[in-house]
Each structure stands twice: as C-alpha cells, then as structure tokens.
Amino acid sequence: MIAYIREILYGLKGRNRYKHYKELLVMQRLPQEELRQRQFWLLSTLLAHAYNTVPFYKKRLDALGLHPDDIRSFKDFAQLPVISRQDTQEHLTEMISGAVLENMRYLNFSGGTTGEPIRFYQDLRLRESMEASWLLCLSFAGWKPSDMIISIWGNPRDSMSTAVKQGLRPWLAGQLVVNAYRYSKEEFKSWLAAIASYRRVYLYGYASVIADLAEYMLDANRKAPSVQGVLTTAERLHEAQRETIARAFNCRVHDQYGSREVPAVSMECAHGNMHLLTHSAYAEFLPLTETARAHVLDSGGDKDDEPRRIVLTSLTNRAMPLIRYEVGDYGMPMDGACPCGRGFPLMRMSIGRLGGSLVTPDGKRLYSTFFVRQMYGMEGVSAFQFRQKSPVHVQLHVVRGLRFHDGTARKLAELQERFGRDLCPGMQLNVRYVEDVPRTPGGKHRHVVCEVEP
C-alpha cells in the first residue's frame, strides 16, 4: 500500500521517477546487444543536441572537421576529443546548452575528492530519469518501493542541519537524509535510532562514513536488524571497509560507481559484478598515459593486469553535456554475462582514482591504495590520513576508536620504522594521533594528501 501511495504522491507533483523505474526494471533484462544499440542512439541524439546548441562542442568538432552525422559507430565516437575537469571550469558558460532555459537547469558541485569541487549545470527536466536510475541501483540490493531509504550524506550544500528530521514527510517520500558532514558518537546514536524506527531499511552513502558508523556499532555492541542492505558510493570501497560494514549490519554491501557530474555509471549486483548502466552513461576505457602507468607500477600494480582510464559521457544531462569526460578514475571492462540475468555489460574498478598519491624523492608517485594496504588489520583506527609535507617527510594522522589497543600502537610504530627502510626508501614517516581528520569541502574522506609538487 505505501508503495502505491508514494507513487501517487510523486505523480501528483509531476515527478515520474517511479514510472521510469518500472520501465528500467524491464529494460535491464534486454540482451546486451540491444542495450548497446539503444545506448548508441542516445549518444547520437546527445551529440547532435550538443553540436547544435552548445558553442563549446560546435567549435571543437568544427576544428576537427567533424559533424554529428559522421559519427556512425562507437569507434567513430572515439574520434571526439576528451574533455577534462579543467575544460569544464575554463569554458563553463560556453558548455551550457542554449536550448535549455535558465529555469530548467540547476548549478551543482562535485564532491571534491581531489581538492576544490568543480561547478557544473544539470538538466532539471531529466532529474527524474536520474532518480529512476538511482532506484534501479537500489533494486540491485533488493530494495522495493515499500522500503525506506536512509541516505547518510556528507555534503554541506545538501543539508546544513545535523538534526535527524523524522516524521510523516520522510516516510511518505520513502527517504530520510541525514547530514554526515560533521558527526560524532551522538550523531551515530540518533542515526541508529532513526534506522530502528523503520521496518525495512536500505542505507546509502559515503563508504568512509558508513564504515565509521559500522566501527562505532562494533565498538558499542549496537545492532541494526532493520537494515536489509547497504549501498556505498562516491568513494572507493576498500575491502577492509566492506568487511567491517557487513559485520556490523549483518547484510550484504553493494558498491555503486558514479559521480555528481555523471551519476549512476555502474552498480554491483548480488553476484559481486559491477554492471554498466547503458541508459544512464557511456563508459570508455582508454589506455594509461606513460605517467599514469608508472604510478600504477610504482604502487604495486600488475603490468599484466593494467587498468584503464575511465572516460564518461552522461546521457541524462542536456543542460551542460559532458561528452567524453575524463573523471580521473581507473578500471577495466569485463567480458561475459552475469548469472543475475541482467543484460548490462560488466566492468570492475581496479585501483580507483590516481589523484591521491605521494611523491618520492626521485619524482615518482605512489598511489593511495599502496598506503591504504598498510593500514589493513589496524584494529581500532577509526580514521587515518597520510599527509606529505615535504619531499622526504610524511605524517600519518590517526584517529583512535574505542577498540584501539596496545597491539595496534605497536603495529603503527613498526610501520613508522619500516616506512623509510622498506616501503619508501629515503622518506620518513611520523605517526600523529589526532582528534579528527578533515574532510573535503564536499564531505569526502581523503586517505592521502600531497602538499609537494613532483
């Protein structure tokens, strides 16, 4: 009954996310070839729109002697130039479509994983399509429209109040958003109280924040039996975090890949496979640059299993089209079909984002995964951050949780000792215990911060 009421209420407001969601439930079972054909049609339509209404793309294509009619395959599409985050900021006004009225677009900001968030516009008319894709992602984890979604979100632009505002309105909407930009044990208690007030709950939010909540639950021996599934997003989900969250909530953890600029790129199903959502975004996997390849190998990557640069095209934003947009993430396409029966093609995230890295004295870079691995098994560490202050000095900021013990302190002392001897010759590590590790302006947690130019 509540699912029907929610659909009616959204429909009365002219918001048709549930209608789109039902269409997506059917579409996801189509054969992969048909999904690819539909995707190319969306790409072609978007490109024609961009060429005719966005000065930035018309100039770029004209300079190359290309016209949208020349793009007749995915291979042809790969001739188009790749755009960068810098392009979006330097040419912001040129990248806005003249066909989308000002009152039909809205300004948004990235989460700022690599530093200062970037600005971009999104299409208000297609917002419900984006929301439907989000609901489809939730359904991968078992969510149904009668279930409650609690979004543990960390961006102060979304909600400045830290109070948990329960009541009839969130229940009717099917979603409660809590502001996780700043939180403590008291906030954790209020979140768990909110979770306990609903019969079936799906958690959605930043991997690091949900992992912190899970650590608190394990420390305080708290349970959340109403949670049926957890979806992490916006940050790379590390295996240690996945294990902690699964243990605390006693349910499966699903990872979603996307960004504010290009949402709902891929979603993990119950079989552990990441499915590319062909109706929402087009993902390309390009060879690494020589510099990036060196970073991967320096960070312990396997040259025989080399990741690719992920380049994305959003299919749900006509206000400011992002066509072949390099997000700074790394992954690999996968062949084959998934036992879940969905027709979406597969991918896997490899090392994630290369933006978080430290510089060695000889100018090489070590990616953040290399350092995160060193922290596996450090029980009772609720947060940490490697921060490079000079070419040879690195500080490891550690926040101690309730389960922190002498054994963890010894492991950290051993890490400090062998850092310059075995891991990063010529560099020194200094472990510092702190009360908090600052987040980015968008609320994300960065495991590695480099203040040194290579």
pLDDT band for position 401 (cuts 50, 70, 90): confident
pLDDT of 433 strictly over 50: yes
Q: What angle do CA 445, 447, 453 make, to 5 degrees?
A: 115
Q: What are 309's strand-pairing partners?
A: 286, 330
What's the pLDDT tens digit per position in 360-397?
787 666 766 677 778 877 888 877 889 988 888 999 99
**pLDDT tens string 156-195:** 455 445 557 777 888 888 999 988 766 778 889 999 999 9
pLDDT at 54: 98
Strand partners, 231: 204, 254
| Whole-number Å distance between alpha carbons of 250 and 252 | 7
Which sign, positive or negative, has the C-alpha torsion 117, 119, 121, 124? positive
The amino acid occupying position 381 is: V
pLDDT value for 236: 78
For residue 322, give the nearest of 50, 7, 31 by alpha carbon: 50
* CB contact burial 15-29 (16+ within 10 A = b; e otherwise): ebbbebbbebeebbe
Query: How, if at all, do strands 393-400 and 381-390 pair?
Result: antiparallel
Quick one: CA dihedral 270, 274, 275, 278, positive or negative? positive
- How far is 405 from 138, CA to CA, in rounded Å? 37
Question: 421: exposed, middle or buried (C-beta count within 10 Å: 0-12, 13-18, 19+)?
Answer: exposed
Contacts of 22 (CB under 8 A, 6+ apart): none
Q: Say how far apart CA 350 and CA 345 lie, in whole Å.
A: 16
Give the model's pLDDT for residue 314.
Answer: 97
Residues 6+ positions from 418 with CB-CB distance below 8 Å: none
Rounded to an integer, what distance in angstroms lies between the CA atom of residue 167 and that of residue 170? 6
Give me the pLDDT at residue 300, please: 47
State how far the Cα of 320 lies from the Cα of 322, in Å rounded to an integer. 6
What's the CA gap between 65 and 248, in Å, rounded? 57
Strands (E), 180-223: 201-206
User: 54: part of which helix (H) or strand (E)?
Assistant: none
Altogether, the residues listed in the chain come to a count of 454
Long-range (24+ apart) CB contacts under 8 A made by 154-160 are 154/179, 154/180, 154/181, 154/205, 154/206, 154/209, 154/439, 154/442, 154/443, 154/444, 155/109, 155/111, 155/181, 155/442, 155/443, 156/181, 156/441, 156/443, 157/109, 157/442
Helix pair 185-196, 207-220: axis angle to 10 deg: 90
Helix, strand and coil content of the chain, in percent to the nearest 5, comes to 35, 25, 40
Chain segment 69-112, per-residue pLDDT in tens: 999 999 999 999 999 988 998 999 999 999 999 999 999 877 55
- DSSP states of 136-178: HHHHHTT--TTSEEEEEE--TTT----S---SHHHHHHTEEEE
- Give this prediction's pTM: 0.80
Q: What is the mean pLDDT of the chain?
A: 87
Chain Cα centroid distance, residue 405: 32
User: Are 173 and 199 within 8 A, CB to CB?
Assistant: no
- Amino acid of residue 451: E
What is the DSSP track for 390-454?
A: ETTEEEEEEEE-TT--HHHHHHHHHHHHHIIIIISTT-EEEEEE-S--PPPTTS---SEEE-S--
Q: Where are the beta strands (DSSP E) in 96-136?
A: 105-109, 119-123
Query: Per residue in 108-128, pLDDT tens?
Result: 877 555 445 678 999 998 889
Report the pLDDT value the prediction gives residue 170, as an integer from 0 to 100: 87
| Nearest partner of 348 among 303, 287, 307, 311, judged by Cα | 307
pLDDT tens digits for 24-56?
999 999 999 999 999 999 999 999 999 999 999
